[in-house]
Structure 1
Amino acid sequence: MEQKKFDLNSFIGMILLGGILLWWMNTSKPEETKDTSNKTEQVVDSTKNTNNTVTENKPVFENDSLKQVAITNQLGAFAKSAINGAEGTLVLENEVVRLVINNKGGQIIEAQVKNYKTYDSLPLYLIKDKNASFNINFGTTDNRILNTKDLFFEPSVTKNGENQVVSMKLKVSDTQFLEYRYEMKPNEYMVDFAVRSQGLSNVINSSNPINLDWSLDGYRHEKSMRTENTMYTYYYYKAEEEVDYINAGNSEVLNDLDWVAYKQHFFTSNLLSDTPFTNATITSTDLVKNEDIDTVFTKRFELKTPLALTNGELNYNMKWFYGPSDYNLLKTYEGTDLGESADLGWGIFGFLNRTIFYPVFNMLKGLLSNYGLIIILMTIVVRILMSPLVYKSYVSSAKMKVIRPELTALNEKYPGKENAMKRQQETMAIQRKAGVSMMSGCIPAILQMPIFFALFKFFPTNLDLRQESFLWANDLSSYDTIFTLPFKIPFYGDHVSLFPILASIAIFFYMKMNQSQQANMQAPPQEGMPDMSKMMKYMIYFSPIMMLFFFNNYASSLSLYYFISNLLTIAIMLVIKNYVIDEDKIHAQIEENKKKPKKTSKFRQRIDAAMKQAQEQQAKQQKKK
């Protein structure tokens, strides 16, 4: 076989072809630019006078005519925003809050409350890692449906005096755009936010609904998942001049909606609007499936509302609030009623907290820095104010003790069911002559109930107590732990809290002391009627156990209050019993009262007449038998 010889001409030709191919490949690459389609992160800090800018090249779209045609077909008049848009974020920051705003969607993608930490000492975020979305859905005159969250806004930064202003514009052209305008003041949680359009009356289709959607998954921030999620995380709103809330799993359609508050125990994310939303749908969904399993989110909050055009344009002045749910702070925003979202209780309970307990607490806070001592002093103030009711109850008890022998004799004089009406009538006559009312012992206890329930709301929702330590409790807004159990007890938990134990012991001794007083208040047991003294014996043991279980997972500040309150009540009762009440004087006063003629009110006359008539009917029935 003939061997093929080396062809020098072919070899040179291959080298030349390879060189031409390499030259063509290099010259066909698009020219790199240094200044177009940038990813920009700007930091705007209203505590400083300088802006820091970091720039990286990251084009959203390559200079590809086919892609530009596809984008134009998809977005129509707003294609320019996608073609020229740049990936990037801008940081708006002052002393108390830090907001990160994304060019894509022009929306807030991070909201950090700066001076607070989570229960595990991490930075506290209300928005982060795509847990929130703000979007406006609208139609265009060329029959396209667009979402602002998918489109790129062009950012710019200016100043309005000391305020930092960020403008995000979704442009059709330099004179036609949709703008989100943020204005942040120094040392302020509330951020002005405007949504307005310019020159879009011929671009936005007014016959299509324009819908605003704002949703947020609430992060867990507190130690007790059960307390944070089930007791204090609500969806608050103000509609038609009324503030109300909805529970998880519910949805409502509202008109004249002024604001919504995504409240998470101690922190809240709020949207306020000068132009009330109509036909707005708000929804709250519980994301906690099992409280025994650690989770990131607690609830999902959603707002869906249509926006109205004015002369073909959007024009809404709003406000964002990302910060603490602090009553002292929220009440300063006059005309908004945001203070009602601080969850101080409804009716008389909220009234007591707003008009008595917060002013007293704030006064003591100005004098002391230790919140445990503030709670103790506040408890002393409350118990001193309530001591006249305790005294009134003890006086009634002493009077009943004095007339008890007469009531016992009355039972012996009128035995049996057939004399029940007559026995009751004579009992009331003896009590009336002695100046004793059976209700006099109940009224003090009834009057103390609103205070009990008001403080039940006051301490666990008071932001000042959050992560404040006292003795062995490292957080007065949550439960204290002296021992962690290797198992979980139903309704009790997997830990042992000391303050609820002390409070339960104190309430046991208080009820033990109170037992003899209540026994004096009761008339001798009558035939056919239950003996209340036996029920009270059971309650002496049942109430402390119930308190021990219930408060083991509750705020240690509340258990501390009840512990000190019961100790003080016991001390006040001992002082009244041993140094104030004189039974001999009371007996003498009763005997003196019996001698005085008693005026009978018309109401009492009607009761006596009714009882007499019932007694006569009972006698007739017995004769027939």
Structure 2
Amino acid sequence: MEEKKLDFKSIAGFVLIGIILLWMIYNQTPTQEELNKEKAKKEQIEKAKQKQIPEQKTASVMQDSTLSDSVRIEKLKGSLGAFAYSASLPSAKNGITELKNPLVTLRISNKGGYIAEANMNNFEQFKKGSNERVELIKNNNANFNLQFKTKDNRILNTKDMYFEPAKTKEGENEVLTMRLKAGPNEFLEYRYVLKHNDYMMDFSIRTQGLSQIVDTSQPMDLEWQLKAYRNEKSVSYENRYTELVYEYEEGKDDYLGQGKNEAEKADNVTYIAYKQHFFTSILLTDTPFKTADLTSENLVKDEKQDTIFTKNFTAKVPLEFKGGELSYNMNWYYGPADYKILNEYDRNLDEVMPLGWGIFGWINRYIFIPVFTLLSSFIPYGIAIILFTILVRLVMSPITYKSYLSQAKMKVLRPEIQEINEKYKKDPMKKQQETMKLYSKAGVSPMAGCLPALMQIPVFYALFQFFPSFFDLRQKSFLWATDLSSYDSVLHLPFYIPFYGNHVSLFPILASVAIFFYMKMTTGDQSMAQPPQEGMPDMSKIMKIMIYISPVMMLIFFNNYASGLSLYYFISNLITIGIMYVIKNHIVKEDKVHAIIQENKSKPKTQSRFQRKMQEMMEQAQEQQKTRQNKK
């Protein structure tokens, strides 16, 4: 092998690279002027930090549980200004006050005056046998804070300060007043009213006598944060339906996306909902928030790993003073994300549910939810899904009949269409004209087979939204499925398959087998009905490929979806196969279809205005084509 030598060009290249590197190093070295600017900037930051030391000490003192009460109180008095009065009260300790009704249990902390625990009394977590109730708030996963500025330029946060509780009863309602005091008659107040047998709680924020203490020229900044706990069996499925929803500008509603980090700014916001698939936390206000900065952070980094949280939500809104005082009437809702419950409040809360937009949501709200609720009120949920599926397919059967009838007519006309294609294969315009004439004489429309399929799309999409959103299916069992709102695992795999998961669900397998036989049954008729067009792909080959692709896609896609949805598609495909069999063998027979077409051909045809216009346009195009050919 010949030894490689370093030639002149290589040496020149290395020298050039060295010059470039030296030039880059020289330019990246800061000048003395830049060093002085950087030093001045650091000194400015240090001075700013020194000014913030009192506030930082306040927070650290408030959170230091190792200090005795007397030491902590004395330190707080020097940092809270007028609000040091609250640190001298007996309530200046980590106490908890409980509000409870048959549906929900809330525990409000003296520190911060906010809810430290929110438990659902009648709903368990996904772990069977654990007997653990669904807890929306626990272990500091939520925070509610008001930040404000005092007249002596202190920045204070209510989450670090102690409120004085006072619990009373008003009939069956439990009332808790939490006051952050700056004096005997000067305070910031939170008032909670928990009604009997209701998930919705009244909540108000007001101030009294603080205009001489608090800088009322600036709004108080409210921040509400919630780290959503996982409560269902499939974390990926639950996370897909966990989102922040809000209402703004007098009835409009929107939601933040499912991305890693989503943020939005809205005006005149009337409610903010942190929806956790089957449960939700909602803050409503009678006085719209002028603006709201909303964020959603996805905490599920790897769906293969078990996780505690799904998303982290935050909302920042300004509370404006009027006449030197603050007064906001609000509500808290901690409870199920159940359409029937939310809709009863008549505050547009049903929009929290992802039932679909436009006609899709209309079908769910006014047809599917009432019908399924009626069925499930007297029969088990699994049987209700089967009966519900039968009703839907029977209602859609006329559309199925029209679709198959159109295919049968096109199949009978196929030989004549092929003859036209062969006769006018060199004249595409004439071929099109003759084909349209044949359709017109036979009383056949090539669009007749497409329209019924298009009409089924709203129903298909509405059902796809209905089953994941229907709360009543949660933890309801049927056959081997222990929870119709989650996957029906019959085998756990010791490894993870991308897009599929680490388990095998049986209902998606049955649904995939059913759709395979349905497509096998119908694809042959469709390919026979549509003759291949010159220059166009052969649809029969594409459809044959789809026979195998569609079941595999369903098998993969639905493995982690609600077993109730897979059960619906399994039964739906079985029923459709039966309907198609009856139509094909006992209702629509080719000899009868052929006789109808021949009878239509013998009848005189009157063209509509649209048909005449189309024919004139085609004839003009044909004349223009002949003129161009003659010029050549």
The offset of 1:68, in angstroms, is 5.1
The offset of 1:576, in angstroms, is 1.1
Q: Which one of 323, 326, 342 corresponds to residue 330 of structure 1?
A: 342
Q: Which one of 121, 135, 140 corresponds to residue 150 of structure 2?
A: 140
- Greater shift in the superposed pair: 567-576 or 605-614: 605-614
* Residue matched to 2:549: 542
Letter in 2 for 1:257: V
| Separation in 2, partners of 1:62, 1:69 | 9
The residue correspondences of 1:609-624 to structure 2 (distance < 5 A) are 609-624=616-631
Q: Which one of 442, 445, 448 corresponds to residue 440 of structure 1?
A: 448
| Separation in 1, partners of 2:618, 2:192 | 74
Letter in 2 for 1:511: M
Are the aligned partners of 1:61 and 1:83 in contact in 2 as well (CA < 8 Å)? no
Are the aligned partners of 1:441 and 1:521 in contact in 2 as well (CA < 8 Å)? no
Are the aligned partners of 1:236 and 1:341 in contact in 2 as well (CA < 8 Å)? yes
What secondary structure sits across from 1:473 in the alignment?
coil
* Residue matched to 2:317: 305
* Residue matched to 2:228: 218
* Residue matched to 1:32: none
Matched, 1:452 2:460: yes
Deviations 1:351-407 (A, max 9, x none): 111111101101102221x11101000000000000000110121122222222221
| Separation in 2, partners of 1:503, 1:590 | 37
Matched, 1:391 2:398: no
Are the aligned partners of 1:60 and 1:86 in contact in 2 as well (CA < 8 Å)? no
Deviations 1:208-262 (A, max 9, x none): 3310011010001111111111x21111000112011012411111111000000
What secondary structure sits across from 2:313 in the alignment?
strand
| Separation in 2, partners of 1:106, 1:483 | 48
Deviations 1:63-120 (A, max 9, x none): 46xx655422211111111122232001111111110100111110101111111111
Letter in 1 for 2:462: A
* Residue matched to 2:358: 347
* Residue matched to 1:232: 241
Matched, 1:404 2:411: no
Matched, 1:285 2:297: yes
What secondary structure sits across from 1:403 in the alignment?
helix
Matched, 1:275 2:283: no
* Residue matched to 1:517: 525
Matched, 1:486 2:497: no
The residue correspondences of 1:144-163 to structure 2 (distance < 5 A) are 144-163=154-173
Q: Which one of 94, 102, 114 corresponds to residue 95 of structure 1?
A: 102
| Separation in 1, partners of 2:554, 2:70 | 71
- Greater shift in the superposed pair: 279-288 or 556-565: 279-288
The offset of 1:142, in angstroms, is 2.5
* Residue matched to 1:559: 566
Are the aligned partners of 1:274 and 1:317 in contact in 2 as well (CA < 8 Å)? yes
* Residue matched to 1:571: 578
What secondary structure sits across from 1:506 in the alignment?
helix
What secondary structure sits across from 1:291 in the alignment?
coil
The residue correspondences of 1:485-504 to structure 2 (distance < 5 A) are 485-504=493-512
Letter in 1 for 2:377: G
* Residue matched to 1:44: none
- In structure 2, the CA distance between the partners of 1:151 and 1:352, relative to structure 1 (3 Å rule), is same
The offset of 1:483, in angstroms, is 1.0
RMSD of the alignment, in Å? Answer: 1.6
Q: Which one of 71, 74, 86 corresponds to residue 79 of structure 2?
A: 74
The residue correspondences of 1:29-48 to structure 2 (distance < 5 A) are none
What secondary structure sits across from 1:262 in the alignment?
strand
Letter in 2 for 1:364: L
Deviations 1:412-451 (A, max 9, x none): 3223xx3111111101110111111011001111111111
The offset of 1:488, in angstroms, is 1.6
* Residue matched to 1:473: 481
| Separation in 1, partners of 2:511, 2:66 | 65
| Separation in 1, partners of 2:495, 2:292 | 46
| Separation in 1, partners of 2:589, 2:300 | 59
* Residue matched to 2:369: 358
Letter in 2 for 1:81: S
* Residue matched to 1:367: 378
Deviations 1:38-58 (A, max 9, x none): xxxxxxxxxxxxxxxxxxxx9
The offset of 1:613, in angstroms, is 2.2
- In structure 2, the CA distance between the partners of 1:462 and 1:68, relative to structure 1 (3 Å rule), is closer
What secondary structure sits across from 1:278 in the alignment?
strand
| Separation in 1, partners of 2:77, 2:475 | 54
Q: Which one of 167, 192, 207 corresponds to residue 202 of structure 2?
A: 192
| Separation in 2, partners of 1:498, 1:470 | 12
The offset of 1:59, in angstroms, is 12
Are the aligned partners of 1:60 and 1:87 in contact in 2 as well (CA < 8 Å)? no
| Separation in 2, partners of 1:465, 1:118 | 14
Are the aligned partners of 1:398 and 1:520 in contact in 2 as well (CA < 8 Å)? no
Are the aligned partners of 2:178 and 2:190 in contact in 1 as well (CA < 8 Å)? yes
- Greater shift in the superposed pair: 300-309 or 119-128: 119-128
Instruction: Work out which of the two has the higher radius of gyration on C-alpha atoms and give 1 or 2.
Output: 1
- In structure 2, the CA distance between the partners of 1:59 and 1:285, relative to structure 1 (3 Å rule), is closer
The offset of 1:495, in angstroms, is 1.0
- In structure 2, the CA distance between the partners of 1:236 and 1:68, relative to structure 1 (3 Å rule), is closer
What secondary structure sits across from 2:344 in the alignment?
coil
Letter in 1 for 2:192: Y
What secondary structure sits across from 1:311 in the alignment?
coil
| Separation in 2, partners of 1:164, 1:485 | 50
| Separation in 2, partners of 1:200, 1:61 | 29
The offset of 1:166, in angstroms, is 0.6
| Separation in 1, partners of 2:188, 2:207 | 4
| Separation in 2, partners of 1:62, 1:440 | 82
| Separation in 1, partners of 2:554, 2:253 | 32
Deviations 1:242-290 (A, max 9, x none): 0110124111111110000001111111100001001211111111211
| Separation in 1, partners of 2:518, 2:361 | 27
Are the aligned partners of 1:177 and 1:198 in contact in 2 as well (CA < 8 Å)? yes
- In structure 2, the CA distance between the partners of 1:527 and 1:140, relative to structure 1 (3 Å rule), is closer
| Separation in 1, partners of 2:108, 2:375 | 40
Structure 1: state its 5+ residue gaps: 1-57
The offset of 1:620, in angstroms, is 3.6
What secondary structure sits across from 2:449 in the alignment?
helix
The offset of 1:482, in angstroms, is 1.1
| Separation in 1, partners of 2:75, 2:218 | 24
* Residue matched to 1:422: 430
Letter in 2 for 1:103: N
Q: What TM-score, normalized to structure 1?
A: 0.87
| Separation in 2, partners of 1:521, 1:164 | 71
Letter in 2 for 1:136: L
* Residue matched to 1:31: none
| Separation in 2, partners of 1:464, 1:304 | 33
* Residue matched to 1:201: 211
| Separation in 1, partners of 2:293, 2:458 | 34
Deviations 1:156-176 (A, max 9, x none): 111112111011111122322
* Residue matched to 1:242: 252
| Separation in 2, partners of 1:381, 1:298 | 37
| Separation in 2, partners of 1:410, 1:590 | 17
Q: What TM-score, normalized to structure 2?
A: 0.86
